[in-house]
Structure 1
């Protein structure tokens, strides 16, 4: 039986690229998104991938989706929390409910996902839980008040889980993507930028594959990826 990866937040960029990379690597791929229709083409492209409609901000819906995946495909080997809630605006302008909703997606969904997955990974002999993040996890810019606090909390939560589960054979990691991801809407907004300004989703997926398959003697927790000339 093929190993299973569960990926939340499978959209047209990083999520789809990760689904393709793990599928090509011999995995079954459970793809979570708010609506299954977004994943119809990807399901047709990838015979061993299947869509699971789920709003990860709803704890009951997330648990039900995970239980359904387990019943269909077994216990995962890799779990990736790629779903993200974001918003721009300073602390005076944003609706406080926006930040609360982003906490539900970025932090609380990770907590529920880890509480479901980590014990199963441990019993199965090990596995990996990876979270995709960005530089808002380590700095709070003025216009990111509705987003950065949730990503910082997400990184700290992931570190806490890693310290708990690492000695028990479960590799938990946080990948900080310091770049503009090469997706159509970003290209449209930044049409004046050269190709090498953007980070390619397929290259992110390749590094995710690498980190989730590191040998136990050399596990990474925090990894950073950025284009070669990104200022940082």
Structure 2
């Protein structure tokens, strides 16, 4: 995939799951990759395993931390052209709205939605300075449809869709594309740790009868970052085995 050779990319939430798979795919395709992760240990592991990658911890809830991360990426590579925002938490086990802890609600919204805003706020000027760019934000199938007991996660992921569309309209005339991917259940470490009963339900919720692999989502993200999707912006792509088609 020579289209990524010498391109510079920033991937947030790259310590595991879809974010890590995307960082690995971009690195393998020849991009120069900076990754934002949750812990120093994740940063050190990725730098050992992926020569040339630059990694640093970042709490996306903190706008100053995000501003520093973007500045570090630009300093490391001279410019920034591609961004993938994968940070997100699901919150507690399914809980009715009437019983939902407001503190936990605020934590999920701060991470999944406000954190996404922070990323876009500081990424956009860097991409504009490069004169071109593409951004992919990670929403969810539950950013397209509802799910009971997951009010904060569902609201935040719906918010990511709206944020993506607004950003795409603001930036279309300066050559920056912004899209979102809305996966169903993906075989990430967190999902796989849910136990076999839960995994059976997750698989059954997809008409295709299985979980997505992180690498499948990563490959779709790379397509949206590439010139092959040059006329795509402001869209939300369900990658959910038919979940939202039901």
TM-score, normalized by length of structure 2?
0.85
1:182 and 2:187 are equivalent in the alignment: yes
Give the secondary-structure state (helix, strand or coil) at the position aligned to 1:129: strand
Shift of 1:206: 0.5
- Corresponding residue to 1:95 among 96, 101, 112: 101
Quote the RMSD (CA, aligned, Å): 2.3
Shift of 1:145: 1.2
**Do the aligned residues in 2 keep the contact of 1:30 with 1:50 (CA within 8 Å)?**
yes
Q: State the Cα distance separating 1:80 from its structure 2 match.
A: 0.9
Following superposition, the deviation at residue 28 of structure 1 comes to 1.4
* Cα deviation, residue 196, structure 1: 5.9
> 1:96-122 CA distances to partner (integer Å, 9 max, x unpaired)?
122222222222222222122222212
- Range with bigger deviation, 220-229 or 91-100: 220-229
- The reply on whether 1:125 has 2:125 as its aligned counterpart is no
How many residues are aligned here?
231
Q: 1:187 to 1:231 in 2, by over 3 A?
A: farther
Q: Does 1:57 align with 2:57?
A: no
Residue equivalent to 2:177: 171
For the 8 Å contact 2:144–2:182, the answer to whether it is kept is no
- Cα deviation, residue 41, structure 1: 2.5
Contact 2:80/2:127 (<8 A) preserved: yes
1:82 aligns with 2:96: no
**Would the aligned equivalents of 1:52 and 1:65 in 2 still touch at CA under 8 Å?**
yes
* Gapped regions of structure 1 (runs ≥ 5): none
Q: Aligned equivalents of 1:154 and 1:231: distance in 2?
A: 20
Question: Which of 131, 134, 140 pairs up with 1:134?
Answer: 140
Change (3 A) 1:100 1:207: same
Shift in Å at residue 215 of structure 1?
4.2
Q: Note if 1:112 corresponds to 2:139.
A: no
The separation in 1 between residues aligned to 2:156 and 2:112, in whole angstroms, is 6
Structure showing the higher helix proportion among its residues: 2
Name the CA distance, whole Å, in 1 between partners of 2:47 and 2:230. 36
